[in-house]
Structure 1
Amino acid sequence: MLSILAITFPFFALVLCGYLAARGGVLPQAAIPGLNAFVLFFALPCMLFRFGARTPIADLLDPAVAAVYIACALVMVAGAVALSRRRLGWNDAAFGALVAAFPNTGFMGVPLLVALLGTAAAGPAIFTMLVDMVLTTSLCIALSRLDGAGAHGVAVALRRALRGMLTNPMPWAIALGAVASAARFTLPGPVDRTVALLADAASPVALFTIGAVLARSQMQAVAHASERVAPRDYVPIALAKLFLHPLLVWAAGHAATAAGLPLTPFAHTALVLAAALPSASNVSLLAERFGAHNGRIARIILVSTALAFLSFSGAVALLV
């Protein structure tokens, strides 16, 4: 267990550093969007391109991985919506479902899984990102518009989700990496070194930014004390993300193997650990954009991230 904590501790320590820097005023809140922009538009796309280009195309497009992960994402969304829709309405229930089914694979998961399992883990991890950015997010945004909005509201929401996906550089970076892998294309030396420098910055800056974003969300919640959230509205979702989601992927993987799908034990382990990650921090931005209760979403992300240091390390100890 100590050897596992030696790998996971630096990742969560960087999140804590970002949190303390923002809470203590060392990092001004006005600087956080700049950090986000650097990670989203420069560092992470370079990291994803490099991993994609170095991963065999068959590992990036594994149909067994797709079947297991997509099925589990749909079950998580359906379960979370069913449990909270009557009490919270479609909008808040849908974004609660998204934060329950969408792990923080981009900012945290890919570098952490590669550090734990090796570069072969990049393929399954990157594919889960594509599913969550394209399918899970679009589905939950569509569901969020069912609060009396009618078919027109759903159509508008889907167009906005598609526009957001098309302007998100991460899916494009993954796609370009896959094309480079299939074509066995390599960047010219100076360009490759530039991309490598940006890619190497992705993990530490992204983790630091997660902490800063969580601190900002908490400070904003304190400033709006009237928008208090009952623990029953965020603790169960955070626990479902950390425990139910990976358990569901673990069970679905074994069922798929028993049914004859060619899911390798390594890919199965990578999928379970991806599902065991805390909730994706970018869901908070989506919730704010679509008018959901962002304070609730921020609390789910904060609780799941804080608890994941022990829960994720425990999952690694059980599986690896």
Structure 2
Amino acid sequence: MAAIFAVTLPFFALVLAGYLAIRWDLFPIEAIPGLNVFVLLFALPCMLYKFASMTPIVRLLDPSIVLTYLGAAGLMVALTVAAARRGHTGWNDAAFGALVGSFPNSGFMGVPLLVALLGAAAAGPAIVALAVDMVFTSSLCIALSQLGAAGEHGAQRAALQGLKGMLKNPLPWSILLGCLATASGKQLPAPVFHAIDLMAGSASPAALFTIGTVLARNRALMARAAGSQARSDPVANRPTGTLQLVACKVIAHPAIVLALGTLAKSLGAPLERSSLVVLVLTAALPSASNVPMLAERFGADAGRIASVVLNTTVIAFLTFPLAVALMK
């Protein structure tokens, strides 16, 4: 366990550094969007391209990996939305609760952390999981969020809007280009690849520091939402609390991935044990830090979503190393 903490502690320490930099006014909150731009448009695409281009194409296109993680994501969304709807939560808050409970921080944190823990072979399944969440999980939840407000056509428009946003996201394209490189066997010229490698090296520390700054900014969002709720009717239209969503993310999500993966293996699916470990640990990561911004954009309770992200990140400092120890 000490050896696992020796790997995970620096990652969470960089998140804490970003958080304290904002809380102590050492880093201007106005600079967070620029930091996000650097990570999302430059550093992370280079890192994902590098790993995808160095991973055998059979691991990136392994249907057993795709279907296991896809099935777990769909089941998580269905269960979370059903539970929220039984509690009389509106479609918008129910859908974004499902998204924050089933979308791990696999881009900013997961890929570099899993590679550090398990080696370069972990990059393939982690990238597949990230692609599934960007294309399927987020689009499904955005579509569900609009069912109550605009009916079926509104949900279709929301899904299309989510897909358009995904197409503008450089992360899926960097993964696709990396897949094409490894499938064709044609790599970039050495000087170009070296430049990409240098930029990829900055992705992990920059992304982790950015998570911390976003979490600190989300605290202000939570405080503003709490103040608004206090001024409104404290009973009517209140969504379910954050505790269930935190438990869904750090406990239920990895458990469902493990259960589906074990079932698939027992039925003869060629799912390697090492790939299943990566998928389970990906699901054990804290919630993605960009979900509160999406929730705010679509008019959901962004303060509640931000609280889930913050709490899962804090709790994952202990639960994620425990999951690593159990899976290894």
Shorter-chain TM-score range:
over 0.9
Equivalent residue number for residue 61 of structure 1: 61
Equivalent residue number for residue 175 of structure 2: 174
Contact 2:93–2:239 (8 Å) recurs in 1: no
Deviation at 1:224, TM superposition (A): 4.6
Contact 2:254–2:284 (8 Å) recurs in 1: yes
Write the letter of the residue equivalent to 1:206: A
Equivalent residue number for residue 196 of structure 2: 195
Structure 1 residues 72-91: aligned runs within 5 Å: 72-85=72-85, 86-91=87-92
Deviations 1:85-116 (A, max 9, x none): 24220000000001111110000000000001
Equivalent residue number for residue 234 of structure 2: none
Question: CA separation in 1, counterparts of 2:143 and 2:258?
Answer: 28
Aligned residues: 320
Contact 1:221–1:227 (8 Å) recurs in 2: no
Q: Does 1:104 align with 2:112?
A: no
Deviation at 1:231, TM superposition (A): 10
Equivalent residue number for residue 327 of structure 2: 319
Equivalent residue number for residue 257 of structure 1: 265
Contact 1:234–1:299 (8 Å) recurs in 2: yes
Deviations 1:245-296 (A, max 9, x none): 1111111111001101000110011111001000011111211111111001
SS in structure 1 at match of 2:206: helix
Identity %: 56
Question: CA separation in 2, counterparts of 1:138 and 1:306?
Answer: 27
Gaps in structure 1 of 5+ consecutive residues = none
Q: Does 1:233 align with 2:234?
A: no
Equivalent residue number for residue 71 of structure 1: 71
Deviation at 1:147, TM superposition (A): 1.0
Question: CA separation in 2, counterparts of 1:310 and 1:138?
Answer: 30
Gaps in structure 2 of 5+ consecutive residues = 231-237
Write the letter of the residue equivalent to 2:279: L
Question: CA separation in 2, counterparts of 1:164 and 1:175?
Answer: 16
Between 1:220-229 and 1:87-96, the stretch displaced more is 220-229
Question: CA separation in 1, counterparts of 2:194 and 2:59?
Answer: 25
Equivalent residue number for residue 37 of structure 2: 37
Deviations 1:168-225 (A, max 9, x none): 0000000000000001122112211211111000000000000100100102322454
Q: Does 1:304 align with 2:312?
A: yes
Question: CA separation in 2, counterparts of 1:211 and 1:110?
Answer: 17
Question: CA separation in 1, counterparts of 2:153 and 2:287?
Answer: 30
1:288 to 296, 308, 315: 296
Contact 2:146–2:158 (8 Å) recurs in 1: yes
Equivalent residue number for residue 242 of structure 1: 250
Write the letter of the residue equivalent to 1:191: V
Equivalent residue number for residue 20 of structure 2: 20
Question: CA separation in 2, counterparts of 1:83 and 1:196?
Answer: 44
Question: CA separation in 2, counterparts of 1:104 and 1:224?
Answer: 23
Equivalent residue number for residue 6 of structure 1: 6
Deviation at 1:24, TM superposition (A): 1.0
SS in structure 1 at match of 2:90: helix
Question: CA separation in 1, counterparts of 2:117 and 2:326?
Answer: 13
Structure 1 132/224 Cα, relative in aligned 2: closer, same or farther at 3 Å?
Answer: closer
Equivalent residue number for residue 233 of structure 2: none
Deviation at 1:227, TM superposition (A): 3.5
Deviation at 1:10, TM superposition (A): 0.4
Question: CA separation in 1, counterparts of 2:134 and 2:47?
Answer: 17
Between 1:83-92 and 1:34-43, the stretch displaced more is 83-92
Contact 2:254–2:280 (8 Å) recurs in 1: yes
Q: TM-score, normalised by structure 1?
A: 0.97
2:278 to 255, 270, 280: 270
SS in structure 1 at match of 2:227: coil
Deviations 1:108-132 (A, max 9, x none): 0000000011000000000001100
Equivalent residue number for residue 235 of structure 2: none
Deviation at 1:7, TM superposition (A): 0.1
SS in structure 1 at match of 2:305: helix
